[in-house]
Chain A
Amino acid sequence: MIEGKNISKSFGDRLVLENVSVTMEKGKTNLIIGQSGMGKTVLLKCLVGLIKADQGQVFYDGRSFSKMSFNEMKEIRQEIGMLFQGGALFDSLNVEENVMFPLSMFTEQTLSQKLERANFCLSRVNLENANKLLPSELSGGMKKRVAIARAISMNPRYLFCDEPNSGLDPQTAHLIDELIKEITLEYNMTTLVVTHDMNSVLEIGEKIYFIYQGKIWWEGDKHNILYTENKELQDFVFTSELTKKLKPKKGFGV
């Protein structure tokens, strides 16, 4: 479980997060949704400590992250897998080296053990036969999948994904959603996914926070999101032609 309490962050005089409190539950996929530029990535980075919040605290299973020294933080971080919005693959390493990188740094596994693990992770994101390619030789969606494979290579206790399926075709996006849901359950991970893809929301949103104007505007799950009375969330949810069809009609009662 990851708790963020009263997190505030501004850049200059632009307040991006205002007193945000969230609880990410263990064994569930927790979602942060919201429009572009609303501070989803900033919130995620505050939770992992890449951005220093102006105020607020973060707890990992009760351990106060905000008060830790760099070396104590390092221990928790080895339990974190993170997918960056842009992938953040290491350009100088090829696909399998990228995925094996955390294993090389933190385990004493032999090369063949590491390769086996890397191939397993790559097969889970449906990426075979790309092992020797460099990041510059990959398509956007392939980069994303390699980055996911790298994030899960160490079997993390905490998984953070910043828009895991943006830029992917619907089929692969679905596959990635399934994968995230599956491994979260399988390894009882605490998973946090930032997304603005309504398909993902309805598929994997076991707990959902909607962030609007720097605040948590709404929280719920995939079952009650369609019945929300919240004006801003309705605007967010029912924008596409597809989701409009899902909108419950007034008077038909729920």
Chain B
Amino acid sequence: MKFLFHFGRYLGLLGQAFQRPEKQSIYIRQILVEMEKLGLASVGIVAIISVFMGAVVAIQMAFNIDTPLIPRYTIGFVTRQSVILEFSPTIISLILAGKVGSRIASELGTMRVTEQIDALEIMGINPATYLILPKIVASMLINPFLIGMSMLLSVGGGWLAGMATGLFPTADYVNGIQSFFHLYDIFYAFIKTVVFAFLIASVSAYNGFYTKGGALEVGEASTNGVVYSSIAIIFVNLILTQILLA
């Protein structure tokens, strides 16, 4: 019941957000600003997590494949596949749900409780379009770059791990990451990334936009933004994987 109420209101908000903007030039500028706030600001954390993630995946593979029946290049191959198919698009999107989602929800929540959203409305500006649309578009544009960067850095992280630990020869690893490459995998990963970006921005915006009360409720909205956009990602991930890999 409650879910239906929120889902209906969420769709309603999206309907309001996807309207013709009052003034195109301002929206384009807003999108650029959001790309910087939401995207560039996340480069550091995405980079660090990706390198370590790739390293850990490669090391685990090396430990698990210690039979001579499986060729050594498998380590590189499996690392690349798990990173591209799942770790980068999903894990990094979850990280971004935490970072970007809380930011969006608390920004909108604060604007709501300090009547800034009412002020926009009174001026005759559609607050949903003005505030939410640029965030959604910016996320959908910038996240694929972040995830692409994450893929490269993760694979590189695996390579570094091999060099540092000596668990597997780097030549085999490099051979592995070049084997059996399907372009469709990249396509699949970026479809997921773009859908997740939409979910992060829209779900957390929804949580912020309808905040009622004061500072306490803004904190709550921010937490909810992260929780619900993460749940949405996990859930949609299952569906997309079914559809795209079927």
* Residues on A facing B (Cβ under 8 Å): 45, 48, 50, 70, 73-78, 80, 82, 84-86, 88-91, 101-102, 104-106
Contacts and interface: CB of A to CB of B under 8 A. Distances in A.
Given A104-B26, A106-B22, A86 B114 contact: yes
B121 A77 contact: yes
Given A86-B114, A88-B114, A91-B110, A106 B124 contact: yes
B32 to A, nearest CB: 14
A65 B212 CA distance: 25
Contacts of B178: none
Nearest to B123: A102
A113 B217 CA distance: 40
Main SS of the interface on chain A?
Answer: helix
A105 B26 contact: yes
A48 B22 contact: no
Interface in B75-113: 110-111
B41 interface: no
B116 A105 contact: no
Contacts of A76: 124
Q: Which 10 A-B pairs have the closest CB atoms?
A: A77-B124, A88-B115, A78-B124, A88-B119, A74-B124, A82-B122, A84-B115, A50-B118, A88-B116, A102-B123
A190 to B, nearest CB: 15
Q: Which of B22, B110, B122, B126 has the most CB of A within 10 A?
A: B122
In this complex, the interface size class of chain B, counting residues with CB under 8 Å from chain A, is 10 to 19
A90 B111 CA distance: 8
A105 to B, nearest CB: 6
B104 to A, nearest CB: 13
A75 B123 CA distance: 9
Nearest to A73: B124
A105 B22 contact: yes
Contacts of B114: 86, 88, 91
Given A90-B111, A90-B116, 15 more contacts: A45-B118, A48-B122, A50-B122, A74-B124, A77-B122, A77-B124, A82-B119, A82-B122, A88-B115, A88-B118, A89-B116, A91-B111, A104-B26, A105-B22, A105-B26
Contacts of B124: 73-78, 80, 106
27 contacts: A45-B118, A73-B124, A74-B126, A77-B121, A78-B123, A78-B124, A80-B122, A82-B122, A84-B115, A84-B118, A86-B114, A86-B115, A88-B115, A88-B116, A88-B119, A89-B116, A90-B111, A90-B116, A91-B111, A101-B123, A102-B123, A105-B22, A105-B23, A105-B26, A105-B123, A105-B125, A106-B22
Nearest to B121: A50
Contacts of A50: 118, 121-122
A141 B119 CA distance: 18
B121 A91 contact: no
A90 to B, nearest CB: 6
A6 B115 CA distance: 26
Interface string B22-65: 11001000000000000000000000000000000000000000
Given A86-B114, A105-B22, A106-B22, A77 B123 contact: yes
Nearest to B25: A104
Contacts of A74: 124-126
B114 to A, nearest CB: 6
Contacts of B111: 90-91
